Amino acid sequence: MKIANMVGDRFKERPSDCVVDSHAFSVRGGYVKYVANGIYSLYPPMRRITKKIENIIREEMDAIDGQEVLFPVALPGSLWEESGRFESVGDELLRFKDRSGSQMVLGMTHEEAAVQLVREYGQTYTKYPFMIYQIQTKFRDEARPRAGLIRVREFTMKDAYSFHLTQEDLERYYDICYKAYNRIFQRAGVPEVIAVKSDSGMMGGSVSHEYMLLADAGEDSIVICTDCGYRANMEAAENKVDNSEYKGMEDLEKVHTPNEKTIEEVTSFLGVPVEKSCKAVMYQKNMTDEFVVVFLRGDYEVNETKLTNYLGEEIHPAEVNDESGLVAGFTGPYNLDAKCTVVYDASLDGIESLVCGANETDYHYKGLNIKRDIGDVEYVDVSKIKTGGVCPVCGKKTITVKRGIEVGNIFQLGTKYTKTMGMKYTDADGTEKNPIMGCYGIGVGRLAASVCEARHDDNGPIWPITIAPWQVHLCCMRVDKEDCKNAADELYDKLQKAGVEVIYDDRDVRAGAMFADADLLGVPVRVVVGPKALANGEIELSSRDKTIKKNIPVDTAVEEIKAVIDEMFAEIYSKVEE
Amino acid sequence: MKIANMVGDRFKERPSDCVVDSHAFSVRGGYVKYVANGIYSLYPPMRRITKKIENIIREEMDAIDGQEVLFPVALPGSLWEESGRFESVGDELLRFKDRSGSQMVLGMTHEEAAVQLVREYGQTYTKYPFMIYQIQTKFRDEARPRAGLIRVREFTMKDAYSFHLTQEDLERYYDICYKAYNRIFQRAGVPEVIAVKSDSGMMGGSVSHEYMLLADAGEDSIVICTDCGYRANMEAAENKVDNSEYKGMEDLEKVHTPNEKTIEEVTSFLGVPVEKSCKAVMYQKNMTDEFVVVFLRGDYEVNETKLTNYLGEEIHPAEVNDESGLVAGFTGPYNLDAKCTVVYDASLDGIESLVCGANETDYHYKGLNIKRDIGDVEYVDVSKIKTGGVCPVCGKKTITVKRGIEVGNIFQLGTKYTKTMGMKYTDADGTEKNPIMGCYGIGVGRLAASVCEARHDDNGPIWPITIAPWQVHLCCMRVDKEDCKNAADELYDKLQKAGVEVIYDDRDVRAGAMFADADLLGVPVRVVVGPKALANGEIELSSRDKTIKKNIPVDTAVEEIKAVIDEMFAEIYSKVEE
């Protein structure tokens, strides 16, 4: 296609509302168009990229016996009532009524629809196992969409659902799918994507993994042990804290701490290391507004997902008022006279002497020993592990915490949906059982944006050949010179006939503008037809990643260009595991 | 794929709620699953069919310089307010609010989104013409979904939008698109689809065509002149009525017509042909409830779309009450004492003596001459043409009316959307103008169902090779016999390696069950491996349409099967126009 005819504008200035690079390039390069908060239209280059990603996913799903189906976007609310999620899921599930007043939802995930599709089919054990998948539009009414295609409200997703007779069979297939996911990311040109253990959240089930692309722009924290290779997301990583150096009992003493509010200010004022302090973080339960006070070591932070899982209900940061009985800034576990749920984080376990709030304005205690002064308490893990922390697997202090973008996830769901929705099969022995499910998701647009995040320079994306919108970007430097234009036209024609995907720039614009556009489109192979080289019967061949730059004869150009494309594919496929 | 592993059930009994054959087969054959009123999930065979249709459409759209994009399913209501359709479109536009309270709609068509995508891009005349299209989920909240995939609420649609500088250029491209549509239907195996002139309805614009597949199950009426080839849908076909034989003035006379209510009863009672009667049909305007009385020749029917277009507002059948001043069953144009809009259909024009209601219970007039007794009235065309009627083009009484399913449509929109939404370009002479639009739609699932409607026998669909879920249906008749099973397994393997799409039935079931399933899946080529033929080194090759049935040697089976497939493709492509 000719760039002159392609809809969408490209420009130089970084939009002020774009925080991450992939977002900026998606706007500057004419890839996406903002329609509403978290809702975008896709211009041709991005649609070409997402089609290629969809095809890679489709091939890998078909290769592991996936059967492509299609579920509706608009689903009856009754289906979500069957699973219990109509009530349990928050505002991100968009609920509405149709013209007849029937309750509907926009599908944000399709476990219910998957069970409904195969509930009658799967009534005997002989039908198992099987996996169905779709590639389709989803809507998740995110409170805070951000970063372009990375966190949107409407998105294209591949979601797959497998059904099994036994947990062992689910685990067997889960492993097959785990590998297929690796191949998908390897084929998309980001073999560095790693699988990390994750918390299952609202999906239910036990074992699950997230596929993470390490990137500073990511909003997820990934816990990695540099020694044993342990990997988990922040929610799933146990925070084992070594307090062996904080020994030594002291007497409990109330001290005046005027104007010292933060835990750092107080410990500094009292000359105590922050590790020997007990910080209070306050929440309220969504359902009842009851207060929840979490006590943890002063240098740690609460992980709200862990806390929610422990409490078994949703929470929000507390709005402390006079009636609560809590003294903001001075809350501590000793003499706490307030109606609230108290949670002791395991990071406090083993510290023999602590600084903490005295539940009285401008006063703290020092020398608190929880066992002596409060008694036996239950320590639970609700805090975030930090770089330098203890690996929960190998026990060494070799944890590092990195940022990442979640590009896919796989879950062992168990019987959560088949039980609630009454899906049963008759086993060989005549007994009725619920099949066991797994589910497997990849966000197509988010993967495209993530690849851009991982593969770009200051001037634009550097698309891997496997998902690039085109393979070759052909520039005619002087449309006003007949020989130059003819040579470029001819090459455009020959390349297309040879099956090469070409975007052709034959506009009468400055070289600078032409190359800036080429950088923004990020096509892997660039071919420049200019008068100077052409005088020697040559054209210029280079790669977007700058590893190739050479002149080649016009006569053999098509073959040489095809060879470079083949090499680029081979390079990517060399990293694809069996 | 093996049929034993495929999700979905096939069965013999026709579901009682299936009125049309394609609906019955889509349920009986495991193609679709009912989820909610007008909302279906697709099982693998239907998903395979729709993917093939999507690819045919994509290739033809790309071939006429279409650029594939993707618009959102969920659109901001403000976009529809810009065009005025947020207010003007009825309940079929599903409106809802998101979590922040913002007004949203589910896209039922994407003119607004298309303009929004290219409004900035298309600011200078040098960018034109261009066409963008998408293949995507739409939602139209139909009051009465019916007939399986033929009229649903959620559906996959290809919608394309072209933008032009001049009406001439739109017409040039419209003609190109017209031909591309013909090719799409020819490639999908239904070359008999015809384009008919249509009413543009809520889309706006003037010239438009619907692509119709003639089928008794269709809900559209198509007007065809058997002489000159004129074709239009019922709304667009002018009803020219020849009343030359109903001459002869009579005196106006009130007659007692007790118990005679219908126009047929009255004219029969009075011994007058029904053609010499004036029937009244009553409506009310949706906005004001004002009554509208249409007078037309007794043997014709009102076309409500024509009437709506004439009135310029929506109507519904009247609920006649005492206050209306209308006497149901006895309403006539003479001495009509009621506050209402009166419409005279052109079918009355030229009849010199009419029977009509006397606006009094149990009384009619005979001998009414409208010009003499009422005066000059405006005759408008709001009635339906009938078989045997006058062709509006050639003037012969050669009209035939047939049923059809609308499988696609193309519209010349003009500047309706670009004007309301403020899309402008600067022309070569520096003046600002609104670009001129065309739009072009095809419903993917409806096309699949329509092909089934046109291509089936009593036992199931007969899919054209170009869109069939598989190319070959391979049956192993005796899985318990080792040589039979081995021969079938080997053939399955070889066919797949040769790139043939095979569905393989190696279940231990009766031949009858196996063939019933094969008929329901409608795969064009059937290959049966059975012990009897195999003893002679042969297998049985047949076609779903029963034109082929022969034994072929096992040794050359792959080549012969491929040759049959190639012939089937060639047969279809022989009907594809340039």
Pick from A411, A489, A11: which is nearest to A177 by CA? A411
- Supply the pLDDT for residue A147: 81
- Do A351 and A227 fall within a single domain? no
Please answer yes or no on whether B99 and A106 come within 8 Å at the CB atom. Answer: no
B389-411 pLDDT, tens digit each: 999 889 999 999 999 999 999 99
- Do A126 and A171 fall within a single domain? yes
> When comparing pLDDT for A148 and A136, which is higher?
A136
Q: Measured over all CA atoms, what is the biggest interatomic distance in chain B, rounded to whole angstroms?
A: 94
- Do A270 and A232 fall within a single domain? no
**Distances in Å between the alpha carbon of A109 and those of A135, A159, B545?**
12, 8, 41
A201-229 pLDDT, tens digit each: 544 456 789 999 988 888 888 888 999 88
Residues 92-111 of B with CB under 8 A from A: 92, 94, 96-100, 102, 104, 106
A340-390 pLDDT, tens digit each: 999 999 999 999 999 999 999 999 999 999 999 999 999 999 999 999 999
If you count DSSP H runs as helices and E runs as strands, how many of each does chain B have, helices first?
A: 15, 31
**Distances in Å between the alpha carbon of A510 and those of A90, A217, A475, A515?**
53, 34, 11, 9
* Chain A nearest-CA residue for B47: A69
For residue A337, give the DSSP letter: -
Distance, in Å, from the CA atom of B131 to the CA atom of B152, rounded to the nearest integer, reads 27
pLDDT at B204 over 70: no
Neighbours of A226 (CB within 10 A): 12
Q: What is the pTM of this model?
A: 0.87
- Do B540 and B566 fall within a single domain? yes
Please answer yes or no on whether B68 and A44 come within 8 Å at the CB atom. Answer: yes
In which domain, by residue range, is A267 found?
253-380
Over range A424-429, report the average pLDDT. Answer: 96
Please answer yes or no on whether A143 and B99 come within 8 Å at the CB atom. Answer: yes
Which tokens belong to A165?
Answer: 């007779």
- Supply the pLDDT for residue B561: 97
- Do A303 and A367 fall within a single domain? yes
**Does A464 map to a domain?**
no
Cα distance between the two ends of chain A: 35
Pick from B230, B455, B253: which is nearest to B334 by CA? B253
Distance, in Å, from the CA atom of A414 to the CA atom of A115, rounded to the nearest integer, reads 13
**Does B193 map to a domain?**
yes
- The reply to whether B554 touches chain A by the CB within 8 Å rule is no
**Does B535 map to a domain?**
yes
- For the four alpha carbons of A147, A152, A157 and A161, in that order, the dihedral sign comes to positive
**Domain count along chain A:** 3
For residue B478, give the DSSP letter: -
The answer to whether B455 and B467 have CB atoms below 8 angstroms apart is: no
Over range A167-177, report the average pLDDT. Answer: 94
**Does B484 map to a domain?**
yes
B45-76 pLDDT, tens digit each: 999 999 999 999 999 999 999 999 999 999 99
Distance, in Å, from the CA atom of A375 to the CA atom of A370, rounded to the nearest integer, reads 6
A45-72 pLDDT, tens digit each: 999 999 999 999 999 999 999 999 999 9
- Supply the pLDDT for residue A258: 86
- The reply to whether A573 touches chain B by the CB within 8 Å rule is no
Complex confidence, ipTM: 0.87
> When comparing pLDDT for A47 and B219, which is higher?
A47
**Does B35 map to a domain?**
yes
Q: Tell me what percent of the residues of chain B surpass a pLDDT of 70.
A: 99
- CATH number at B436 reads 3.30.930.10
Residues 290-329 of B with CB under 8 A from A: none
- Do A322 and A442 fall within a single domain? no
- CATH number at B494 reads 3.40.50.800
Residues 15-74 of A with CB under 8 A from B: 33, 35-37, 39-44, 46-48, 50-51, 65, 67-74
Rounded to 5 degrees, what are φ and ψ at A338? -150, 150
A contacts of B9 (beta carbons < 8 Å): 120-121
∠ CA A207-A194-A142, nearest 5°, is: 70
- Do A486 and A370 fall within a single domain? no
Weakest mean pLDDT among A278-282, B236-240, B418-422: B236-240
B contacts of A106 (beta carbons < 8 Å): 74
Q: Measured over all CA atoms, what is the biggest interatomic distance in chain A, rounded to whole angstroms?
A: 94
∠ CA B516-B521-B523, nearest 5°, is: 110
Distance, in Å, from the CA atom of A171 to the CA atom of A230, rounded to the nearest integer, reads 20
- CATH number at B306 reads 3.90.960.10
pLDDT at A20 over 80: yes
B89-113 pLDDT, tens digit each: 888 999 999 999 999 999 999 999 9
Please answer yes or no on whether A36 and B75 come within 8 Å at the CB atom. Answer: yes
**What's the whole-number average pLDDT of chain A?**
93
Domain edge (last residue) among A423, A454, A485: A454
Over range A469-485, report the average pLDDT. Answer: 96
Q: Where are the beta strands (DSSP E) in B236-345?
A: 253-256, 278-285, 291-297, 315-317, 340-345
- Do B289 and B364 fall within a single domain? yes
- Supply the pLDDT for residue B126: 96
- Supply the pLDDT for residue A264: 87
**Does A38 map to a domain?**
yes
pLDDT at A74 over 70: yes
- Do B476 and B545 fall within a single domain? yes
**Does B228 map to a domain?**
yes
Domain edge (last residue) among B429, B454, B479: B454
**Does A7 map to a domain?**
no
The answer to whether A267 and A274 have CB atoms below 8 angstroms apart is: yes
- Do A474 and A449 fall within a single domain? no
User: Token match 């009658």: residue?
Assistant: A120
Query: H or E segment at B133?
Result: strand B130-139
| Confidence label for A304 from pLDDT (cuts 50, 70 and 90) | very high
- Do B313 and B413 fall within a single domain? no
Task: Tell me which amino acid residue A530 is.
Answer: G
Across the interface, which of B43, B92, B96 has its CB nearest the CB of A69?
B43
Query: H or E segment at B190?
Result: none
- Do B556 and B449 fall within a single domain? no
B contacts of A5 (beta carbons < 8 Å): 65, 67, 130
Across the interface, which of B69, B76, B120 has its CB nearest the CB of A44?
B69
In a mutational test of the B interface, the residue from A35, A509, A517 whose CB has the highest number of chain B CBs within 10 Å is: A35
Interface contacts (A, B; CB < 8 Å): 167
pLDDT at B200 over 60: no
- Supply the pLDDT for residue A202: 44
- Supply the pLDDT for residue A203: 45
